[in-house]
Amino acid sequence: MRAAVSLAPHLQYQIAYELPAVHPRVSILIPTTGNPALLGTGNPALLGKCLDSVLTRTTYDNFEVLLLVDEIQKMEPGRAEMLRKCAGLPRVRVLFHSTQDFNYSWVNNWGVREAAGEVLCLLNDDTELITPDWLEKMVARATLPDVGAVGAMLYYPNDTIQHAGVILGLGGTAGHAFQGKRRGSGGYISRACLEQDLSCVTAACLAVRRDVFIALGGFDERFAIAFNDVDFCIRLRQSGLRVIWTPTVELYHHESASARRHDSPERAHLFAAERALLRKLWAPVLDADPFYNPNLSLQRAYQLAFPPRRPAIAASDTIRPST
């Protein structure tokens, strides 16, 4: 694999990987409620800033967009008309499914079966692209033979960090790294701006090869609203594949604008159940993230843990030189 090395912010280095000679087809999967409140003000035929940014800013030449919509949305005249217009846009397919309760994992698994791409890009409908060559960068990494998933830098609309990778065990399950830091911050030993391997990235913008997704069995559908990406990335790494987070791909994330937050009061019971399931399945992994220093706290990210998370080594346990 050919690549180029250049300087990155804060005196670091960044690798730019070369795309495969034949650009693989990418299927961008966007589950959506079709909420008219998300419509772009410039063009009512576009599904908000997300679809507008994908169709007008993406420079990659071989992709399709799959809008995954509950068929009940066709019963609401405003949404039905908007979705009809979306279906007429180049590269866009609107696919209707029938589920009584929204299940993010099931919807994406179903969408993958309908997708034509060799590479899948899972994308939330409340994101907005900043980087025009985002797919070139995601695909170049996702097609590396030892890579399972690739994640991006996500910002809140006020230009603070929403996601710069995921720390396992933070808050008891998992949490986003550098959340709330200003855009451009270096963070702890420059890790907020340095491409790196991590244990997990969010599925709000995640690229993965189709064959990898299928071989892994897709998302665990027991995780209907939360932690599906955490479970998926853990299983990826246990299969021997890497998870990469890159700050070279940037998006805004208007978090949960189309659907209530997964930890909202209305979903508290389901969120608690899925949190408990994640702990049941992966507690030892969650408590020992190999990409997070064990001297750091799991309550306050990148601060020293007190008391220490690991017991001190007794003098009698140290290795003594032979005489």
Structure tokens at 107: 């919807």
Q: Which two tokens stand for residue 244?
A: 């990469």
Does 199 reside within a domain?
yes
The model's pTM: 0.90
Which amino acid, one-letter code, is at 53? S
Q: What are 88-128's pLDDT values in tens digits?
A: 999 999 999 987 678 999 999 999 999 999 999 999 998 99
Residue 322 resides in a domain: no
Q: What pLDDT is recorded for position 79?
A: 77
Q: Pick 322 or 90 by higher pLDDT.
A: 90
What CATH number is associated with residue 128? 3.90.550.10
- 55: phi then psi, degrees, rounded to nearest 5: -80, -25
Closest to 181 measured CA to CA, from 16, 7, 10:
10
Strand blocks (E) in 142-218: 147-155, 161-163, 166-168, 174-176, 196-197, 205-209
Asked, for residue 190, whether it belongs to a domain, the answer is yes
**Mean pLDDT of the 218-245 span:** 98
Which residue carries 């609309």 as its tokens? 157
In which domain, by residue range, is 74 found?
Answer: 21-304
Whether residue 279 is contained in a domain is answered as yes
Residue whose entry in the numeric block shows the structure tokens 């280095």: 13
Task: Take residue 31 and report the two structure tokens written for it.
Answer: 């589950």
Q: What is the mean pLDDT of residues 260-265?
A: 57
Q: What is the pLDDT of residues 55-75, one digit of tens each?
A: 999 999 999 999 999 888 777
Q: Residues 267-286: pLDDT tens digits?
A: 789 999 999 999 999 999 99
DSSP-assigned beta bridge partners for residue 28? 65, 121
Specify the pLDDT at position 48: 74
Residue 244 lies in a domain: yes
In this predicted model, what pLDDT tens digit does every residue of 144-172 receive, in sequence order? 999 999 999 999 999 999 999 999 999 99
Please tell me the total count of domains within the chain. Answer: 1
Q: How many CA atoms lie within 13 A of 173 on its CB side?
A: 17
312 is a domain residue? no
Q: Count other Cβ atoms within 10 Å, centred on residue 41.
A: 9
